[in-house]
Amino acid sequence: MATVTLIRGADLVAAPWKNGGGVTREVAAFPEGAGLDAFVWRVSVADVAQAGPFSRFVGIDRTLALLSGAGMLLDETDNVNGLKTRALTQPLDIARFAGEAQIDARLVDGATRDFNLMVRRGAAAGEVEVWRGDTQRDLSADVVLLFCASGSVEVQLGNRAQPFSLNADDTLRIDTPQSLSCTVKGAGALLAITIRYAQR
């Protein structure tokens, strides 16, 4: 049976970045309460107030989605390919990169907010999809998180009597959904995060 947890955006607690260059709010992590060096996966929302380097996380695969603001340019420098720039300038633009990469962020025009998925390579794999408007899916994974990125939506899971109402920054966490039907209604946008643990 799937276990469902509703995480309200208003309850998220602000904490400084690993490198002190901004503020992050953890949405969920596994194992629960794991530090930045021990998580298998972590989902958070960050406020980026100024340009500067990203914190580096060796062995972590990262996915970043722009939530608000004019956007940012991510400059990645390596010894083989030189400089590579990823542009996130539209709401819910997504960038994927290795946590150990040397990345400097430039802000297009002022502060931004972004959504961040971090997954420990070899222990799990994570995917992020953007769902806009009415959506129907079947959920099968170890964990699915539905993060309301904008607006509001109603999420109906399986044959539950009542749908869940999500507003911006609210998250629905579903553990071990196996072929669980999911119907989303409303004009808002969701980030759907699917996490699968590596076979041991």
Query: Residues 25-43: what's their mean pLDDT?
Result: 93
Q: What is the pLDDT of residues 39-59, one digit of tens each?
A: 999 999 999 888 888 888 999
User: Same CATH topology for 12-120 and 124-197?
Assistant: yes
Q: Does domain 124-197 have CATH number 2.40.50.140?
A: no
Question: Between these two residues, 186 and 35, which has the higher pLDDT value?
Answer: 186
Report in angstroms the alpha-carbon separations of 88 from 51, 63, 64, 95, 113. Answer: 14, 12, 9, 7, 11
- Every domain of the chain and the residues it spans: 12-120, 124-197
How high does pLDDT run on average in the chain? 93
Q: Does domain 12-120 have CATH number 2.40.110.10?
A: no
DSSP 8-state symbol, 11: G
Instruction: Beginning with the edge strand found earlier in the chain, give each strand of the sheet holding 124-132 in spatial order.
Output: 3-7, 171-175, 143-150, 189-197, 124-132
Of 43, 98, 107, the C-alpha closest to 70 is: 107
Q: Which amino acid is it at 72?
A: M
Place of tokens 């899971």: 157
Q: Which two tokens stand for residue 79?
A: 């010894």
pLDDT at 75: 95
| Residues 47 and 111: beta-carbon distance below 8 Å | yes
Q: Cis ω on the peptide bond leading into residue 31 (within 30° of 0)?
A: yes
Query: Residues 16-36: what's their mean pLDDT?
Result: 84
Q: What is the pLDDT of residues 67-108, one digit of tens each?
A: 999 999 999 988 777 889 999 999 999 999 999 999 999 999
- The answer to whether residue 157 scores a pLDDT higher than 90 is yes
Those residues whose C-beta lies under 8 Å from the C-beta of residue 183, and which sit 6 or more positions away, are 134, 135, 136, 155, 156
- The answer to whether residue 200 scores a pLDDT higher than 80 is no
* H or E stretch at 82: strand 82-88
Place of tokens 């502060």: 111
- What is 135-146 written as a DSSP string? EEEEE-SSEEEE
pLDDT at 116: 96
Place of tokens 């633009």: 93
pLDDT at 182: 97
Asked which of 72-81, 94-103, 146-155, 164-173 is least confident by mean pLDDT, the reply is 72-81
pLDDT at 50: 86
Percent of the chain with pLDDT over 90: 80
| Residues 191 and 127: beta-carbon distance below 8 Å | no
Report in angstroms the alpha-carbon separations of 74 from 27, 95, 101, 163. Answer: 23, 9, 11, 38
Question: Between these two residues, 117 and 17, which has the higher pLDDT value?
Answer: 117
pLDDT at 21: 66
